[in-house]
Amino acid sequence: MSLVEIQNINMNYHSPQGETEALKNISLNIQEGDFISIIGPSGCGKSTLLNIMCGLLKPSSGKILLEGKEINEMDNRIGYMFQKDHLFEWLNLWENVSLGLKIQKKLNKKTKEYLENLLDSYGLSSFKKHYPNELSGGMRQRAALIRTLALSPHILLLDEPFSALDYQTRLKVCDEIFQIIKNAGKTVVMVTHDIAEAISTSSRVVVLSKRPSSIKKEILLEFSNEYETPLHRREAPEFRNYFNTIWKELDFNE
């Protein structure tokens, strides 16, 4: 059984301006430990698909199974990190990362320790009392990830997690976040429009077409062990071939 099964998802938005066909017949199986990147042109329906996967949005037809059972609403097994970090500016770092646990009444000695460890591992311990506007873009992004990890989800949905960062920071934060996720042994579905980012992090890349979006191609990525981190992968000989394959599939030139 797959961890997540996306079965024949169709999504049409209705608004006074008319109907928008966003997703057309999307089916995908996600296995435990997968790191899947979903890549596609802007406006094709990537965020829509993540919103459907976590139960925020109901599809026009089709269903999502998590461990064999249909999901209907927000489920604790799924952690969602939005494109924008959505840190609360009026709460300090500690209050931000512990908020989810507090709301769920799960803030106890053990979970506090887990949070302390995460903050420590990612260089944020001495910033607990700082407010988001006192943190760098990379620190905010790590804080948002720690907040998502705090609830111990099985699966992480990441919507363009690095797009707000400048190029240099982006490479570094991507590397760091990749390590956090690997160490925690999570399954990931990441939306991006950056081909290099998709190749450097993923076990599989799913290319979506223009709207109405369907799956154009799935590419399995394999690298030898010496190219294990995103930064190393960018140096690997296979990188260029994968890049060209994905580039050819993407519709944004048309």
Number of chain positions touching Mg ion (CB under 5 A): 1
- Closest distance of CB 48 from ligand ADP, Å: 3
Please state, in angstroms and rounded to a whole number, the distance separating the CA atoms of residues 4 and 187: 10
Binding of residue 44 to ligand ADP (CB under 6 A): yes
Cis bond leading into 212, ω under 30°? Answer: yes
Element (H, E) at 217: strand 215-220
Binding of residue 229 to Mg ion (CB under 5 A): no
Paired residues of 66 in beta bridges: 4, 69
CB 38 within 8 A of CB 206: yes
Binding of residue 48 to ligand ADP (CB under 6 A): yes
Residue 6 or 150 with smaller CB distance to Mg ion: 6
Q: Could you say which of 16, 42, 225, 253 contacts ligand ADP (CB under 6 A)?
A: 42
Instruction: Write the interaction track for ligand ADP spanning residues 12-31; mark x where CB under 6 A is met and - where it is not.
Output: -x-x----x-x---------
Nearest partner of 247 among 191, 194, 200, 210, judged by Cα? 194
- Closest distance of CB 209 from ligand ADP, Å: 11
Nearest partner of 141 among 126, 157, 163, 125, judged by Cα? 163
Q: Which residues bind Mg ion (CB under 5 A)?
A: 47
Residues that bind ligand ADP (CB under 6 A): 13, 15, 20, 22, 40, 42-48, 211
